[in-house]
């Protein structure tokens, strides 16, 4: 979810390759890394990613070390990077906020309303809280409630940037309106 939300990511492939290695008892094993991440920027190498619970890494490190070594070798051969992400790096406030924003993924905003909101945001001084913007932009409670969902949808579409360093709420600051292509 974090990678899908990251604007630098072009494509995310789940379980992209299957690798073979010899385990500690001398048996042939298979290892399938979790993701391959392609980036939009040419100077960012694709990244082969393994996701594990930190407790599992600590508990089974000797077994996992072999998997990680074959992952590193395969990534290097293909000109990629290899990374292990544990739950402490993934879980947290940003993921919570993205999950909340994703609740608005099925909402659609017409081009007219989208353009009107973005135009209004371009004409005010940023950063501004969602609440302050909506108090300026709307005239009724119904409009306010409709438009808070639209703001979250615009953030999901990367039309605007929010400060997601605090829990998502009406106090969340709108920090940037993106230029359109």
pLDDT in tens, 74-125: 999 999 999 999 987 778 899 999 999 999 998 889 999 999 999 999 999 9
Strand partners, 128: 174
> Which stretches within 6-140 are classed as H helix?
54-59, 61-78, 87-90, 93-102, 111-122, 130-137
Instruction: Report the range of poorest mean pLDDT among 14-18, 27-31, 86-90, 160-164.
Output: 86-90
> What pLDDT does residue 46 have?
98
Q: Measure the CA–CA gap between 122 and 116, rounded to whole angstroms.
A: 10
Prior bond of 127 cis (ω within 30°): yes
């Amino acid at each position: 979810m974090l990678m899908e939300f990251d604007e630098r990511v072009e494509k995310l492939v789940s379980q992209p390759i299957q690798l073979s290695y010899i385990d500690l008892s001398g048996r042939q094993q298979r290892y399938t890394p979790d993701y391959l991440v392609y980036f939009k920027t040419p100077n960012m190498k694709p990244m082969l990613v393994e996701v594990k619970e930190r407790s599992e890494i600590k508990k089974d490190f000797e077994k996992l070390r072999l998997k990680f070594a074959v992952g590193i070798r395969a990534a290097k051969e293909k000109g990629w990077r290899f990374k292990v992400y544990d739950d402490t790096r993934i879980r947290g406030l940003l993921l919570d906020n993205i999950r909340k924003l994703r609740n608005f993924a099925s909402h659609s905003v017409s081009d007219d309303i989208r353009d009107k909101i973005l135009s209004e945001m371009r004409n005010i001084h940023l950063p501004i809280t969602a609440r302050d913007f909506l108090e300026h932009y709307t005239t009724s409670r119904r409009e306010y409630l409709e438009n808070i969902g639209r703001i979250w949808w615009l953030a999901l579409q990367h039309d605007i940037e929010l400060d997601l360093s605090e829990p998502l709420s009406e106090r969340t600051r709108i920090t940037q309106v993106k230029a359109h292509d």
